[in-house]
A = this chain, B = another copy of it.
Amino acid sequence: MTGAAIPGARYFEDFAVGDVIESQSATLTESQIMDFALAWDPQPFHVSKPAAEASMFGGLIASGFHTLALTFRLFWQGGPIQHTNLGGLGLDNLRWPKPVRPGDTLRVTVEVLELRPSSSRPFGHVRLKYTTRNQHDETVLTAELLHLVAKRPG
């Protein structure tokens, strides 16, 4: 926030409403799904194969918190806000319209929805819409995250 701008970093002024950023993809394994769920969301349809088969899902599915964490990770590793995101304020309208199953490959599209500069502070509010899709192009997660992004120094 102080000193010179970091070359290549995307500052608040570098975002425009409607910009779209695509992430890399990642394949979610059965073990990953079960490990995450056992720690954070040990519902039967996330951790027990027979229980999952008997559930309305017909088999193991990933915790929605897992899909959310992976969504953020995939966007983050792409780099656009790695040097300029100062924090997150909140998350709105998260939906999980389709389950995520072992072997699914997810990728994320992020769209800039809203930009609000702070008049007095060296950052602005950036509302990003995350859409996560599987290998069949089905949407498995949508959410809006409200970021604090640094303004360009100087």
- Check A65/B68 contact, CB under 8 A, given A39-B73, A57-B87: yes
Given contacts A92-B93, A92-B94, contact A87 B41 (CB under 8 A): no
Identical copies in the complex: 2
Give the secondary structure class of A's interface.
mixed
Question: Nearest B residue to A95 by beta-carbon distance?
Answer: B90
Query: Which among B39, B40, B89, B96 is the interface contact of A88 at CB below 8 angstroms?
Result: B96
A89 vs B87: C-alpha distance when bound (angstroms): 26
Contacts of A91 in B (CB 8 A): 64, 91, 94, 143
User: Is A29's beta carbon under 8 Å from chain B?
Assistant: no
Q: Interface residues of A, CB < 8 Å — how many?
A: 31
Given contacts A40-B69, A40-B73, A65-B69, contact A92 B90 (CB under 8 A): no
Residues of B within 8 A of A55 (CB): 86
State the CA gap A82–B90 with chains docked (Å).
27
Asked if A70 CB lies within 8 Å of chain B CBs, one says: yes
Q: Is A131 an interface residue (CB 8 A)?
A: no
Distance in angstroms from A78 CB to nearest chain B CB is 13
Which chain A residues have a beta carbon within 8 Å of chain B's beta carbons?
Answer: 39-43, 45, 55-57, 64-65, 68-70, 72-73, 76, 82, 85-96, 143
